[in-house]
Amino acid sequence: MGSTMKLYNNNYLIFAITLTLAISNPNFHATEAAGFSIDLIHRDSLQSPSLLSPFDRAEAALQRSFNRSKTLIIPAHHSPQSASTETVPDAGEYLMRFALGTPKVETLAIADTGSDLTWIQCAPCKGCYKQKSPLFNPTSSSTYRSVPCRTEICNTVKSTNCQGSNGGCGFTLRYGDNSVTMGDVALETLSFGQSTSFSNIVVGCSHTARGTFSPGTSGIVGLGGGRESLLRQMGPSIGGRFSYCLQVPTSGKASKMHFGDGAVVSGAGVATTPIVLKNTATFYYLTLVGMSVGNQRFNLESSAAILGGNIVIDSGTTLTFLPKDLYDKVEAALKRQVSLKQIGDPHKKMKLCYDVTNTKGADAKIPEITAHFKGADVKLKPHNTFIMTTKKSIIMPTKKVMCLAFAPANLVPIYGNIAQMNFLIGYDLVKKTVSFKPTDCTTAI
């Protein structure tokens, strides 16, 4: 965010969540944190507010995914409770429903494990992008509190300044795709469902926002590891644990996200790998050792595999971006093992696509691909490794096209949300681990 030029990507998870800032400040605390779950709504599902066609949705999602990969820049206890909430998908991205203020004003925002500050558009809003839901009006909330400049809270939040309303604490976040949001840093109550609420949550109240933001959302929910992240703010109440189970967009149902005791991922089939800490706490780094295509395994040759922390797991990126030497080997192995007819990508972004217009059981022709993380082998299904799209022509019938959902990384390798679908994925920020469990997310509670 901000000076780090982190890309905004509409391939985000939009969640209903509340957290308490885990810093030594008495103003940050949670109330009524009995544990909760929320729905994650994919923007391509029937519950999504998106009005784009399937082709246009895929086009937008791919473009944002590539933009994000180019601009994701690396800058330098209480007893836990359980909770969960609902999320709504938004074109390879997921939306989260929650309420802000007193009285409660319900809204949707993009849930992003790759950013920290939670912000929404607020009235008055000059130069803002159009959103379908009403703007949040801070003057109508009895629990809204402006944060003065040069205070501990203001100094803790990244990308702040003294240019907020009436000289208060302001923020400016610039994203790698030239999107920008500016406004006031404030404390407010966030609520999830009927009974779970958290008071004095640090949020951004944006009065200017422009760029590639979707009208179906009011802002971003920051689920990264930084100090102002909603997860860190909620940390003492949820024991540093959260999990989600992402459904494929065509299911038409909401995915689930859990917090606290209900977020523990255990049982048969669980694979666990360490989170590697870096200078920037925002991103969740894992160590990718290699990939297998069928029975062929390819290990990373670079020193990054030995040093650890060479790939970011990110809910806000659609595709998976692999180190180039590893991607080249995976692509070459697929070309050798897959007998389907190759075809150009209709979106002109993906490198390996197949024509499956008249092919029955195309999934059966795709070899199993395994992501080998340190201590964890994650076996991927075809819906984790290929995406379906169409190729339209004025003179020819529409073709069904299946493209590899991997790409070579320009800067930072990223494990995207397509690869995460139909896995129950649990984060334990105390133990510093991420766990994967193969799950039918349509039946996950």
**Does residue 65 share a domain with residue 187?**
yes
**Does residue 393 share a domain with residue 329?**
yes
Under the banding of pLDDT at 50, 70 and 90, the label for residue 62 is: low
Determine the pLDDT at residue 279. Answer: 81
Of the three residues 219, 243, 262, the one that is the final residue of a domain is 262
**Does residue 294 share a domain with residue 199?**
no
Q: Has 177 been annotated as catalytic?
A: no
DSSP letters for 186-253:
EEEEEEETTTEEEEEEEEEEEEEEESS--TT-SEEEE-SSSTTSHHHHHHHHHTTEEEEEPPPGGG-S
Query: 225 Cβ partners below 8 Å, 6+ apart?
Result: 116, 231, 232, 281, 282, 283, 284, 429
On average, the pLDDT of the chain sits at 81
As given in the structure block, the two tokens for residue 187 are 């404390």
Question: Which amino acid, one-letter code, is at 286?
Answer: L
**Does residue 223 share a domain with residue 143?**
yes
**Does residue 186 share a domain with residue 282?**
no
Q: Within 10 Å of residue 308's Cβ, how many Cβ atoms?
A: 16
Most confident listed range (19-28, 71-80, 421-430)? 421-430
List 255's β-bridge partners, or say none. Answer: 40, 87
Where residue 398 sits, what CATH number does that domain have? 2.40.70.10
**Does residue 246 share a domain with residue 290?**
no
Q: What is the pTM of this model?
A: 0.83
Window from 145-154, 204-213, 373-382 with minimum mean pLDDT: 204-213
Determine the pLDDT at residue 92. Answer: 44
For the chain, how many structural domains are there in total? Answer: 2
**Over residues 352-368, mean pLDDT:** 90
Q: Has 112 been annotated as catalytic?
A: yes
Residue 367 within a domain? yes
The CA distance from 234 to 172, in Å, is 23
**Does residue 166 share a domain with residue 141?**
yes
Which is catalytic among the residues 39, 112, 184, 428?
112
Determine the pLDDT at residue 443. Answer: 85
**Does residue 341 share a domain with residue 293?**
yes
Q: Which domain holds residue 274?
A: 263-438
Most confident listed range (90-104, 211-225, 388-402)? 211-225
Residue 445 within a domain? no
**Does residue 335 share a domain with residue 232?**
no
**Over residues 216-220, mean pLDDT:** 90
**Does residue 245 share a domain with residue 297?**
no
Under the banding of pLDDT at 50, 70 and 90, the label for residue 105 is: very high
Determine the pLDDT at residue 98. Answer: 92
Question: 318 and 384 in contact (C-beta within 8 Å)?
Answer: no
Which is catalytic among the residues 44, 90, 314, 428?
314
Under the banding of pLDDT at 50, 70 and 90, the label for residue 267 is: very high
